[in-house]
Structure 1
Amino acid sequence: MRRSISLAALVAVASPIGASANEALMEVMSDPNQWAIQTGDYANQRYSELDQINKDNVGDLVPTWTFSTGVLRGHEGSPLVIGDVMYVHTPFPNIVYALDLNDNGRIIWRYEPKQDTSVIPVMCCDTVNRGVAYANDKIFLHQADTTVVALNAQDGSVLWTAVNGDPSIGETNTATVLPVKDKIIVGISGGEYGVRGHVTAYNMESGEQEWRAYSMGPDEEMLVDPENTTHLGEPIGADSSLNTWEGDQWQIGGGTTWGWYSYDPEADLIYYGTGNPSTWNPAQRPGDNRWSMTIMARDPDDGMAKWFYQMTPHDEWDFDGVNEMILTDQDFNGEERKLLTHFDRNGFGYTLDRVTGELLVAEKFDPAVNWATEVVMDPESEEYGRPQVVAEYSTEQNGEDVNSTGICPAALGTKDQQPASYSPKTQLFYVPTNHVCMDYEPFRVSYTAGQPYVGATLAMYPAPDSHGGMGNFIAWDNVAGEIKWSIPEQFSVWSGALATAGDIVFYGTLEGYLKAIDSTTGEELYRFKTPSGIIGNVMTYTHNDKQYVAVLSGIGGWAGIGLAAGLTNPNDGLGAVGGYAALSDYTALGGQLTVFTLPE
């Protein structure tokens, strides 16, 4: 079989003797012609220095080639490009293709795991997968059944596998992985099945487990030193998690880790968020339920925590905190700061100092958000850092089996996992959002391993008194904590954004449009309708000195679960089926990669 990775690419990715895999990977990530991990770089900025396609010529963009994945469920994530090879993944059964960019996308190799189909009904909110990662001449995949696989990037052969969880008790995976130094960092899904969340590091070369940090429980299992791990600048103290749960509820407490991960090489910290506490019925788990709904900063070498910040104590709405952490170095009130910006499901955009965990900004990034009035920013207040809940929109205000109505945002949040982007040229964040509200009725539920452990019935609908649509694409100032401009969309924007040095931002829509907009003004410059709704993340690369833009289309995910799984009951899909019923008038199932470029 002819190898089609170029010699230049091999030289670029070959690790010098004694150099860490991290240094080799950072060299690849620093090359804008390639795309090595799902977020583009460790900072999760989803920004490209490429500018051959720019705001003056993007209107001439044309689709140049396509590739069918052969799978008809929701396609999240994006392809990777290393040298002259593109790597494309699919939802379950998690096929990986290596495509030769020198030979019309010819399939060099494919990896098709044989997973037990019993994992499908255990997966919440579609059988999506957010993609593979590259490092050290390997492609890393975390399968739905929680098997972590290292593939030889040249021929697709399996180098090692590791089992990260147990689908029989509800543990599954939808996330990508993060290669850091000599380790692969992975999370776990299953909060709707009473899974106790954790993050695990595997050795990149051997697959051996090196450490595991749980989201809640005893200090030693969370990998925290209670006197040297802080929350809002104060030591968390001994038993910080156990003290906020009733009895042993923490053992089935959720806090899963199915989102995105970032890394700061200078601070030598990884950052990620934890999900909702289990069950969705808040009356069954009194207390703050630490450390669900929390931003965590950890040492990648041993997993030890440096700082936590819990955004939604005692979550009552399923506002998972797993969305991406975007790392920037910016001027903040006259001082250069190392910042972390996070757009949470709860509707607040947070800016923190990523070294210390200091909370700097917490403001709503959709005016419709009503479940809380504000986050208290006074460090002298006992309520410092806590959202101020509006009693009318508390889901346990009147006890169980009572419907709380008009809560904004809905459980899928003002933004779900669809990643935002950041442009250092404009210093703005470009955020795909949901403009959706809900009715929420909790009920008592018993835990049985491997069975749904939700305990709530939901209905979703567009936010009232606005444009009538279910989404917006916004530009956000993370220092001022304000929206600079907003583009209304008929449906939620479930696609990851891409900003480029060409002064444009790309994103996709649930109807299937790829759109390009002016990064300064928000003016639409281009649109093209792909065969199916876009929930994938836009990426860019060059081949033979020509810039390309690529995106996966294939409707699905939580918003598209009705179409993806053939559901019709409005309450199915945790309320999303009814809320997004009109999607079927605009798109159908698909699984396709579409690649765009400028005409000759």
Structure 2
Amino acid sequence: MIRYALPAAAALLLSGSWGASANESTQQAISDAKNWAIQTGDYANQRYSTLEQITKANVGDLQVAWTFSTGVLRGHEGSPLVIGDIMYVHTPFPNIVYALDLKQDGKIIWKYEPQQDPNVIGVMCCDTVNRGLSFADGMVFLSQADTTVVALDAATGEVKWSVKNGDPAKGETATATTMPFKDKLLVSISGGEFGVQGHVTAYNIADGSQAWRAYSVGPDDQILFDPETTTELGKPVGADSSLKTWEGDQWQIGGGTTWGWFSYDPDLNLIYYGSGNPSTWNPSQRPGDNKWSMTIFARDADTGVAKWVYQMTPHDEWDFDGVNEMILADIEIEGQQVKTLVHFDRNGLAYTMNRETGELLVAEKYDPTVNWTTGVDMDPNSETYGRPAVVEEYSTEANGEDVNTTGVCPAALGTKDQQPASYSPKTGLFYVPTNHVCMDYEPFRVSYTAGQPYVGATLSMFPAPDSHGGMGNFIAWDAAAGEIKWSLPEQFSVWSGALATAGDVVFYGTLEGYLKAIDSETGEELYKFKTPSGIIGNVFTYEHAGKQYVGVLSGIGGWAGIGLAAGLTNPNEGLGAVGGYSALSDYTALGGQLTVFALPD
């Protein structure tokens, strides 16, 4: 690794002043809108900034203020952090971390470059992405591709502690950010396409020791369920709720990985996240509901015990991971102010739930082309309450046998993948980057070998038919009514995380490389600028020396851009994405750059 010393003045900025508790230090940094102190904007995952220097009246005057090359040419997801005068930038594998001095034109203060076995690249599903750093107690936390979690001194880059969260030899890797809460750090695991038994783990921030680990599938003592008090839709789940829905010991290689985002409600002391697809992708090989894959979890932050769960896609037949972000917002529903959780799932349904109780309030399609289901049973008295009704034509199995299925909407990468939406309390709307993509799905029998792909399906992807011909939309969503307010068509999927601001502007990026600014009320495009490479990063904002800045990482890759990122040409490679997004090469090329914008002086 390489490290450089931090100037004394900057070291003082990061020492001592952040309080003794991780929750306090992170929350203090989040509470100052000049910072961008957590990947999701805040603990509620709203990705909303109260900065308002940049408005819909002047955003058209934005100019590039400065740029920074990361030196890595793979998919750049997530965003930098900004704490005071320091910006922390991360990269895809090999997961370099830079600390930049904003007082000296982004001068490199220190650089951390871990030494990882490059063989881990071969067991990373959909590019070598990393979704960013987190900050607490004067430390910056990195979850490396090889599952090593590292705590770096924010002032010097010195390694304070490190811990191994998984085993790449079994297909376990890491792509997600971590989340500090109270005195702990929450860490996820990737590898659903390798038969990994998914889990989340809380480590003690002080020394990296393990506080608790909760699996997604398996026996009650592993998934941290109390059969009497853990509920789904208001009813106790009962004993062995997961085991009863798997055949034999399939749960041991059952997937349900947790590579998405976390949110936290400190008043309720609950952590929220989603679990991914069951393994394998061939549904005929794993009869049953395969609980608790494809599930929203609400867990006690201190113990990890689940308070409530909700499985969105029982017995998933299409790889509709449930890991997308849970946005916490207090919104009015039928005249009542409700503490809600809003989730835009890969399966094409947007859910509004009571985040205290797990009550299902709204479940509606947020792309009208979604066809695998007619909708969710919303009758609490029904035996199928909360379950989606599957359209037989788009099922990928019948009577336990494989079925080659055509025209399924959405494709496996979902109506939205991990690219996070944003919420504006000013408009009450959610701003959602979406994929407008369908697929043909051919399951096949597959056997499990540790560390080898355990997929069992061949996919091909294409734009949704009978629409604008493009592969994406950027939409505004009313979560109380369950309806689209407006929709902006895009040629390719919108794979960039959105940012809403108090200046009545919403920002997002496109796969061709454009940063776009739109009116938060009307959706009118107000500004665009083409960065050097396709954008799959998340737009962020901060203030320094009295000026508001907006920034984004560009560097094509991720699942949609895996063909370019990894040099793949077979249309069925990249789990079906290479063919679907082959035209991207006509518009952009590999890159790894941070572009920062500001208004002219």
2:515 counterpart letter in structure 1:
L
| Greater mean alpha carbon deviation, residues 326-335 or residues 159-168 | 326-335
- Percent of counterpart pairs with the same letter? 77
CA distance in 2, matches of 1:312, 1:2: 49
Could you say which residue in structure 1 is the equivalent of 2:158? 157
Identify the residue that residue 387 of structure 1 maps to in structure 2.
Answer: 388
Query: In structure 1, what is the Cα distance between the partners aligned to 2:49 and 2:218?
Result: 40
Q: Secondary structure, in 3 states, of the residue corresponding to 1:422? A: strand
1:581 aligns with 2:582: yes
Q: What SS does the aligned partner of 1:584 have?
A: helix
Q: Which amino acid aligns with 1:435?
A: H
Deviation at 1:325, TM superposition (A): 0.1
After superposition, the Cα gap between the structure-2 partners of 1:5 and 1:301, relative to the gap in structure 1 and judged at 3 Å, is farther
> C-alpha distance in 2, partners of 1:236/1:454?
29
How far apart, CA to CA, are the structure 2 residues paired with 1:321 and 1:215? 12
- Partners of 2:327 and 2:290 in 1: CA distance: 25
Segments of structure 2 that go 5 or more residues without pairing to the other structure are: none
Residue-by-residue CA offset, 1:474-501 (whole Å, 9 max, x unaligned) = 0000000000000000000000000000
Question: Which 4+ stretches in 1 moved above 6 angstroms?
Answer: none
- Contact 1:63–1:594 (CA<8 Å) still a contact in 2? yes
Whole-Å Cα distance in 1 between the matches of residues 403 and 222 of structure 2?
A: 37
- Contact (CA 8 Å) 1:515, 1:527: kept in 2 or not? yes
Residue correspondence of structure 1 range 100-111 to structure 2 within 5 A = 100-111=101-112
2:596 maps to: 595
Q: What is the aligned partner in structure 1 of residue 337 from structure 2?
A: 336
**2:191 matches 1:187:** no
Q: CA deviation at 1:24?
A: 2.1
- Map of 2:516 onto structure 1: 515
Residues 246, 286 of structure 2: 8 Å contact kept: yes
Q: Which residue of 2 aligns with 1:135?
A: 136
Contact 1:400–1:442 at 8 Å: present in 2 too?
A: no
The DSSP-based 3-state class of the residue aligned with 2:595 is strand
Give runs of aligned pairs for residues 449-488 of structure 1, distance below 5 A.
449-488=450-489
The alignment partner of 1:102 has SS state of helix
**Alignment match, 2:318:** 317
Tell me the SS of whatever aligns to 1:97. strand
- Give the corresponding residue for 2:432: 431
Compute the displacement of 1:397 (Å).
3.3
Q: Does structure 1 conserve the Cα–Cα contact (< 8 Å) formed by 2:513 and 2:531? A: yes
Alpha-carbon distance between aligned partners in 1 of 2:243 and 2:63, rounded to the nearest angstrom: 56
**For 1:492 and 1:579, how far apart are their aligned partners in 2?**
11
SS of alignment partner, residue 506 of structure 1:
strand
For normalisation by structure 2, the TM-score amounts to: 0.98
Cα offset, 1:142, TM superposition? 0.3
8 Å Cα contact 1:8/1:83 also seen in 2: no
Contact 2:396–2:402 (CA under 8 A) maintained in structure 1: no
Aligned position for 2:89: 88
What secondary structure is seen at the aligned counterpart in 1 of 2:208?
coil
Distance 2:17 2:312 in 1: 39
Partner of 2:220: 219
State the 1:300 CA deviation.
Answer: 1.4
The equivalences for 1:119-518 within 5 A come to 119-397=120-398, 400=401, 402-518=403-519
Query: Which residue number corresponds to residue 28 of structure 2?
Result: 27
Tell me the distance in 1 between the aligned counterparts of 2:399 and 2:412.
19
Q: Secondary structure at the match of 1:118?
A: helix
> Aligned AA for 2:254?
G
Structure 2 residue aligned with 1:14, among 7, 12, 18?
18
Cα distance, 1:444 vs structure 2: 0.3
Q: Tell me the CA shift for residue 400 of structure 1.
A: 4.7
C-alpha separation in 1, matches of 2:271 and 2:316: 24
Provide the C-alpha distance between the structure 2 equivalents of 1:224 and 1:404, rounded to a whole number of angstroms.
36
Q: 1:86 to 1:4 in 2, by over 3 A?
A: farther
Q: Give the letter for the 2:253 counterpart.
A: I
Q: Is the 8 Å Cα contact of residues 79 and 540 (structure 2) preserved in structure 1?
A: yes
Preserved CA contact (<8 Å) 2:537 2:554: yes
- Whether the 8 Å contact between 2:14 and 2:154 is mirrored in structure 1 is no
Is the contact between residue 44 and residue 329 of structure 2 (CA under 8 Å) also seen in structure 1? Answer: yes
The residue identity in structure 2 corresponding to 1:473 is F
- Structure-2 separation of matches of 1:400 and 1:450: 26
> Larger deviation: 393-402 or 550-559?
393-402
Question: Could you say what secondary structure the match of 1:431 adopts?
Answer: strand
Q: CA RMSD in A?
A: 1.1
Structure 1 gaps of 5+ residues are none
The 8 Å contact of residues 100 and 107 in structure 2, kept in 1 or not, is answered as yes
Give the deviation of 1:21 after TM superposition.
1.9
User: In the aligned structure 2, how far is the partner of 1:8 from the partner of 1:529?
Assistant: 38
Deviation at 1:223, TM superposition (A): 0.7
CA shift in 2, pair 1:447/1:528, >3 Å: same
The amino acid that maps onto 1:184 is: L
Deviations 1:310-332 (A, max 9, x none): 00000000000000000001211
Match of 2:7 among 3, 8, 11: 3
Query: For 1:19-51, what per-residue CA distance to the aligned partner results, in whole angstroms no more than 9, with x for missing partners?
Result: 522122111101110011100100000000000
Report deviation, 1:255: 0.2
Maintained 8 Å contact 2:536/2:555: yes
So what's the TM-score if we normalise by structure 1?
A: 0.98
Matched-pair contact (CA < 8 Å) for 1:551–1:595: yes
Question: Which residue of structure 2 lines up, in the alignment, with residue 533 of structure 1?
Answer: 534
Q: Is the 8 A contact 1:404 1:439 kept in 2?
A: yes
In structure 2, what residue type is equivalent to 1:211? W
In 1, the alpha carbon distance for the partners of 2:333 and 2:9 equals: 43
How far did residue 3 of structure 1 move? 2.2
For residues 130-164 of structure 1, the C-alpha deviation after alignment (integer angstroms, 9 at most, x for no partner) is 00001110000000000000000000000000000
Distance in 2, Cα, partners of 1:364 & 1:2: 50
Query: How much has 1:226 moved relative to structure 2?
Result: 0.6
CA shift, 1:2, in A, is: 5.1
Question: In the superposition, relative to structure 1, how do residues 5 and 410 fare at CA in structure 2: closer, same or farther (>3 Å)?
Answer: farther
